[in-house]
Amino acid sequence: MKDRVSESGVIEDRELAEYYSLMAKRYMRIPCQRVLSRIKAKGIEKGKALDVGTGPGIFPIFLSKALPNVQFKAIDLSPVMVEISRKNAIEAGLRDGIDTFDGAKPRFLNRGNGSTSSPSRAESREKRRSASTLSIPRASDRGVEGVDFQVGSAYSLPCEDHSLDLLLCINTLHHLDRPVDFFNEVARSLKDGGSFVIVDFHRDTSFIFVGIFNLFWKFFFGKYPEAKRGFLESVYSSYTIEECRTFLKQSKLKDWKLYTRTVEMWIESTGAE
């Protein structure tokens, strides 16, 4: 098994970020539904939720529509990703929750020269097709206010002590070099009896699974050179099951369970289900 190789948690390349966003909107419907099923199993129907490392915002956008009485906030270290997530929320029919957002019509990347401009007809059709892939009703039909997207750190969550009903962290843990500090922040932020769902890869997964998933990744993401090795880089920077179990035991986070699903490691609260 390879030693862990730390992976940067910030995407600053706008074109790469737009590409990841496009692929996420196109292919993340099933992962979103899996996370939603775990949230519903915990009986969460209202309250405050925080998504840590939100990327293009696909998970909180999907979940805020499925759970209209849950108030979602989402953070990412990348200002580029936060801007894209706000644009995605508007495209999905959500109102962005940031007061400082200027409300201007979202601009789209001109992939020919890297500048921003109004979308072409072809780009508009592609955007609409990608958004529809998630197959969720518009917010106006569900009474959803929006998602509050902010630049923020996993080591200093933007919430009061014991104020959250739910915390999510999807495919972000491998970016964190101080997981114990993050778990301590989760413990600080959750209400007594609050729930959490943390999902990531684990480095000690079967090389057969890694090979199979890497082929799928290259098929879907291989058109962009910098994204081609994204899956392997994420796996090699992730923690093993035993490493993560040790971090959890060292932290203040209590009442957790850890289990695997092929290449994924799931960490959840153990409340009544």
CA gyration radius, the chain? 18
pLDDT of residue 144: 44
Most confident of 78-87, 97-106, 226-235: 78-87
Percent of the chain with pLDDT over 90: 59
Q: What is the pLDDT of residues 186-239, one digit of tens each?
A: 999 999 999 999 999 999 987 887 777 777 767 766 666 666 677 788 888 999
Residue 225 phi, psi (nearest 5): -55, -40
Question: Which of 40-44, 71-75, 80-84, 234-238 is least confident?
Answer: 234-238
27 confidence band (pLDDT: 50, 70, 90): confident
188: exposed, middle or buried (Cβ count in 10 Å: 0-12, 13-18, 19+): middle
The domain made up of 14-269 has a fold known as: Rossmann fold (3.40.50)
CA distance 269 to 255: 6
Residue 47 phi, psi (nearest 5): 115, -160
Taking alpha carbons only, the member of 175, 135, 138 closest to residue 155 is 175
Residue 163 phi, psi (nearest 5): -115, -10
Residues in CB range of 108: below 8 A, 6 or more apart: 116, 117, 118, 119, 123, 127
